[in-house]
Amino acid sequence: MPNTRSANWRSYVNVHPAADLFPLLPPEELAEMTERIKANGIQVPLAFYTDEQGKIWLLDGRNRLDALAASGYDVEAFLKSKPSRLHYRAPNDDPEEVVVRLNIFRRHLTQEQKRDLVAKLLKATPERSNTDTARLALVDPKTVSSVRRREEAKGKIPRMDKTVGRDGRARTTTPAPRAPRSAPKIEEEMPKPSPSPERDQNVVAVAGMLGKDLAKGLQDLVKVVGDYSWRMVGIADAKRQELVQGWAKALSSPDPYISNQHELELAAAREEIVRLEARIAELEAKLAQAPVTKPEIDAAEIRATRSKGGKAASYKALAAKHGLTYQEVKRICTD
């Protein structure tokens, strides 16, 4: 049983409000995590954030600390031991963005849960643009626009005349009315693009690649040029560069969030491997304890098979006759 101080670890650990963007695990999933931590300890590092006043907050790891306390460990002693952790700092890191990046790949969210996440992001930072919020939550900007209108109508978030994009520039939320276009004069010839042999070669090359497999080629092209670095894993390096040479530099992005995400994905994969190995060991133990029923074969048939020197053809014939496997028949006849 966990001690009282471990169970009340929130009394001496500051949990950042951004951590509530994702709900706590339900009891049954927390119980599974508790058993894994009992066996293997915490595999995925905790994430902390230092604000501009120097205060340290827990950004990611509430469920792990709850499971650690339920496992009987001393949470305070664990934290004082300075375990493996990720640390983010103001003003370079945005707490909401960090929390989403650390969890969006580990959680399997439904469409409704994604809309709830978008609503929480808009409530936390209503001035963030729809496009930037969509990039963060991995949804379509139209979904963000729909959720924003809904939350504004309910009075949960203010109406914003301007929003700020990832580049830090503020833009009006409603575009200014366009001046009516004047129809081009018929006698005037429309300007033609300047010829470019290099452009033409690139167009022909890309068209040739798409012509081999249009559907697959378009999917790979979207993955490369879109802001979906995490989806590029299944595309070979050579194919990425072949599709779009100019985007090759994106494959070695210096974005610290992406490198941290790779570290977390690796840790999560290791934890999953440990869990599967434990499950395999459990199943093997049950299998070893299960009573083995030895199939019955007539003694005369066994003697006849032995007299033939245990030839493979004899084993196969007996196996087909009694509905057994080759190895089962061989084991029975050689015991």
| Residue at 263 is within a domain | no
Pairwise CA distance, residues 137 & 100, whole Å: 7
Pairwise CA distance, residues 244 & 206, whole Å: 8
In order, the DSSP letters of 305-331 are: HHHTT--HHHHHHHHHHHT--HHHHHH
Pairwise CA distance, residues 334 & 3, whole Å: 58
* Same domain assignment for residues 155 and 16: yes
* Same domain assignment for residues 88 and 167: yes
Q: Cα 126 from chain centroid?
A: 26
Predicted local distance difference test score (pLDDT) of residue 258: 44
Range of the domain at 241: 210-252
* Same domain assignment for residues 57 and 168: yes
Pairwise CA distance, residues 12 & 5, whole Å: 9
Residue 280 confidence class, pLDDT cut points 50, 70, 90: confident
pLDDT in tens, 241-278: 566 554 433 434 444 444 455 566 667 777 777 778 77
For residue 181, pLDDT beyond 90: no
Q: In total, how many domains does the chain have?
A: 3
pLDDT in tens, 72-113: 889 998 988 877 788 888 888 889 888 988 888 777 788 888
Pairwise CA distance, residues 21 & 96, whole Å: 8
What is the pTM for the complete model shown? 0.47
Does 162 or 190 have the greater pLDDT score? Answer: 162
Token digits of residue 258: 């992406």
pLDDT in tens, 6-18: 888 999 999 999 9
Cβ burial of 243 (10 Å; 0-12, 13-18, 19+) is buried
| Residue at 185 is within a domain | no
